[in-house]
Amino acid sequence: MNESHEAHAACWVTIEVNGVEHKKSVQPRVHLVDFLRENLDMRTVRAGCEHGVCGSCTVRLDGDIVRGCLVLAVQADGGTVETIDAASDRGDLLELQHAFHAHNALQCGFCTSGMLFTAAALIEEKPDATRADVREYMSGNYCRCTGYHAIIDAICSVLEARRQRRAEGSCGHAAPVVAGSDEILPHEETIDGSA
């Protein structure tokens, strides 16, 4: 076998995704987003720009927010990946999902999973973020439909609600009291990123 052929030979990776370990054979140049979509059929992780600028492929890798199109699957070997699916299943995104719905921050749904996941990271990292902080933090996520104002409004409303709960002495991360929150949200596929 010649050297150039060996460089492109498939290799095995073991990656824990949403709490489940997966061992798969991949080509060395396969990106994490493609591994998740093609090998694991995870459609909530979107392949958008493939240059790291749109944010549709946002995931957590070993706890850090990363763009799945900028990380090779072999770089994630031995790592832990979390997608919006796991965060949504735990209910971590419920308050944001309700806010996105209430502020009409949803349109086609293509960017929603990346937006929600990035917004959740922002709220976790910067609970006292200002509107300017939100705009800057979210600037790496593109939305072709909403014009961003509704998205920023939704995120700021969650930040403000949590600040108020902290000031009142309750847990800043408590589930929101939302009228009808026990009901299924309209356009559920859009709001959970599966549209």
Cα separation, 83 vs 60, whole angstroms: 7
Convert the pLDDT of each residue in 124-133 to its tens digit.
999 999 999 9
Structural domains of the chain sorted by starting position, each given as residue range(s) with its CATH number in brackets: 9-82 (3.10.20.30), 88-169 (1.10.150.120)
The structure tokens listed for 147 are 């014009």
Q: Calculate the CA dihedral of residues 189, 173, 134, 56 and round it to 10 degrees.
A: -30
Within the chain, which residues score under 50 in pLDDT?
A: 1-2, 174-184
Q: Which residues, other chains included, contact 2 with Cβ-Cβ below 8 Å and sequence gap of 6+?
A: none
Read off the pTM. Answer: 0.79
pLDDT score of 50: 87
Task: Note the pLDDT tens digit of each residue in 121-168.
Answer: 999 999 999 999 999 999 989 888 887 899 999 999 999 999 999 999
